[in-house]
Amino acid sequence: MPSTSPSEQVTYSISELAKEFALTTRAIRFYEGEGLLSPQRAGQRRVYAERERVRIKLILRGKRLGLSLSDIRELLDLYQATRGERAQLVKFLQVLAERRAMLNQQKEDIAIVLTEIDALERQCRKRLRAGTNGSA
**Domain spans of the chain?**
10-81, 84-131
User: Options 1.10.1660.10, 3.90.420.10, 3.40.50.300, 1.10.10.2520; which CATH number does 10-81 get?
Assistant: 1.10.1660.10
How far is CA 45 from each of CA 6, 39, 63, rounded to the nearest angstrom?
17, 10, 27
b (16+ CB within 10 A) / e for 54-80: ebbeebbebeeeebeeebbbebbebbe
At residue 124, does pLDDT exceed 90? yes
**Is the overall model pTM greater than 0.85, yes or no?**
no
| pLDDT, tens digit (0-9, with 9 covering 90-100), for 8-67 | 688 999 999 999 999 999 999 999 999 999 999 889 899 999 999 999 999 999 899 888
Q: With the C-alpha atoms ordered 109, 115, 120, 125, is the resulting torsion angle positive or negative?
A: positive
At residue 1 the predicted structure's pLDDT band, cuts being 50, 70 and 90, is: low
Higher pLDDT, 118 or 95: 118
Beta-carbon contacts of residue 6 (< 8 Å; ≥ 6 apart): none
Tell me the pLDDT tens digit for each residue of 56-97. 999 999 899 888 899 888 888 776 655 567 777 787 788 889
